[in-house]
A and B are shown apart, each in its own frame.
Chain A
Amino acid sequence: MSHLGDLAAAVVDGELGHDARDRALAHLAGCLPCRAEVDAQRRIKARLGAMERSDVPSTLAARLAAVPGAALPSPPAVPVRTAAPPPATAPLPSRRVGSIRVQRVSAERSTGLSTRSRFGRTRRPARNRPPGRPVDHPRPWSRTPRRLRRAVVGGTSAVLLSLGVALLVGGGSPADTAAVDPSVNTFVADHMATTGEVPLTDPAVAAVSVSYPR
């Protein structure tokens, strides 16, 4: 393995299978750039998790529960989280992340509920969900494809950066620019001198000109 690449994100999210995780951790032990990458992604994840969450009104949850065939239990005692980033967690040592992963995989093996994807990643089993979170009410953010998440974050950053640059180069206020009163009569004289036209530079010429509106 040269570097983890995209697997770094899977390591941070704890979504690698047993063997893949072991190989990744072995690589991290000896690869400084990948450790830095994983550490940076953990910090980002922690900051996103620390963002304020919005709670769904209890009436909405009740209406959803009333939908025929819905597996929702009665309105939960705690507010349902929606569209929120992963829970706020401080960056964990890789060893601890690894131990959690081991437990999850063991649970899958014991129950036969493994949802390993064709990429070697597994979905989080229901029994490993934090207490108080409804089992059948998945968080949209966590279900968003990782690449899409990264694209959203990257796109937002690019837009903000572009707007900042635009604000900088958008010019100062008019107060920063001097008001110019063009010396038109001097300009006309200069024009006449460089073109060889009859020098009609005096304002009196305009006064005796005969003008007809068209």
Chain B
Amino acid sequence: MNPAMSARSWAVTAVGSLLLTGASTAAVTPWASAEGANPTVASSEAVATLQRASQAARSQPYSGTQFLSAWTRGATTSVVVNVIHVPGRGSLVQVPATADGVGASILESDSGPSAADGPAGLDGSPAVLPGLDAEPLALLQRNYDVSMAPAGSCAGRPASVVEVRRRGVDASLAGRFWVDQRTGLVLRREVFDTQGRTVRASAFGTVDTDAVPTMSGKLPPTSAKASGESLSAGRLNAMRSTGWTAPDRLGADLELYDTRATGAGRNQTLHLSYSDGLSTLSLFEQRGRLDAAAVRGWRRERIGAADVFVNDTLPQRVAWAGNGTVYTMVADAPGEMIDAVVAALPHEPEPARGVLARMRHGLVRVGSWLNPFG
């Protein structure tokens, strides 16, 4: 090991290891600190708890240290960040430097009123903690059953625990939220796949909600808001008629809830946002063929009949080409959900080179046009 590794790097490694162990345990056993006192109550209380959390994510100032971990087929990835959130001003995320990499500070400003105007309301300022924005919350209620679980704790604070279960015979556990009983802030979130394995987890190690944090000093450049302009239903349908793929649903539960477009002509990019309330996925489409240099170092994987390139960072990136379009997926979702999305989208190989291959490609295309179920 590199002797020059800093103490901070050691800390990151240690936290990651602990999280890995803890999450593996959580995947097979009930949450240890959730024993307890309160019995499971009606789902209406769970919905109210999540709505309170959604409001707190906008209006509650806080600062703390947060970890995020993701378990994919290729790797387990964890990162620790310092987060400061001031309603109306934005969120400052500081990534500690290590011996192997320089740190980073990322500022995401709120679009709501400034701090001088007091706490922000439900006026469009973005949520900071994931998964509980207004639209995903509505999707969550549509796609899952929510219920209260015995109370627990996180970061030394008592928390209400909300369980999210899949609808169906098995009613398997899909996610858990630990909501701070005092402020309503989401302190911890876990997402499980259908096999019961933890695939995503984020939690505060330490959090302070009493002192209003300040963003003094030289702030880093504000990270860009979602680029491009939002598409109306009419414009989206017009793009669909010219060959762009934009299904209203992907896989079993992912619903299209936001569409944007940037550029024009050959440089146009279509950005589709999907969510089932618990997992989120963005799909970017560009006309052309995938430049091999753009995915150098990515893991090559076969998903069904598709050859894709995967980058196991946070969030996970998957890129492939199909039918003259390059698809880039940015996902906070279980692998099985990503597989279903890739299978549902075009993933034919690059345009054929030889006459015979071109002829075969043409026959496949004509066949797809004639297929009433395609």
Interface residues of A (CB under 8 A from B): 162-163, 165-174, 176-182, 184, 186-202, 204-214
Contact = CB atoms under 8 A, between A and B. Distances in A.
B288 A199 contact: no
Contacts of A176: 351
Interface residues of B, number: 93
Contacts of B359: 163, 166-167, 170
Nearest to A171: B351
Interface stretch (B30-38, B72-80, B151-159, B233-241): B72-80
A188 B360 CA distance: 36
Contact of A213 (B75, B100, B128): B75
B337 interface: no
B289 A179 contact: yes
Nearest to B20: A212
A208 B227 contact: no
Contacts of A194: 226, 258, 260, 271, 273, 282
B276 interface: no
Interface string B62-79: 000010100111111111
A206 B353 CA distance: 37
Given A184-B328, A193-B225, A200 B81 contact: yes
Contact of B291 (A180, A195, A204): A180
A177 B351 contact: yes
Contact of B106 (A162, A173, A201): A201
B205 to A, nearest CB: 14
17 contacts: A169-B366, A170-B357, A170-B362, A170-B363, A180-B321, A184-B330, A186-B224, A190-B284, A191-B315, A196-B127, A196-B132, A198-B66, A198-B130, A200-B314, A212-B76, A214-B72, A214-B73
A208 B290 contact: no
Contact of A198 (B93, B226, B290): B93
B313 interface: yes
Contacts of A196: 57, 126-133, 136
Given A170-B363, A190-B282, A201-B106, 11 more contacts: A166-B363, A169-B365, A179-B291, A196-B57, A197-B315, A205-B81, A205-B104, A205-B314, A208-B100, A209-B77, A212-B76
A193 B225 CA distance: 6
A198 B102 CA distance: 19
Contacts of B66: 198
Nearest to A202: B104
B13 interface: yes
B312 interface: yes
A193 B226 contact: yes
B104 A193 contact: no
A181 B360 contact: no
B225 A171 contact: no
A29 to B, nearest CB: 45
Contacts of B363: 162, 166, 170
A195 B136 contact: yes
Contact of B313 (A180, A182, A206): A206
Instruction: Count chain A CB atoms within 10 A of each CB in B66, B100, B286 and give the residue with the most.
Output: B286
Interface in B111-142: 126-133, 136
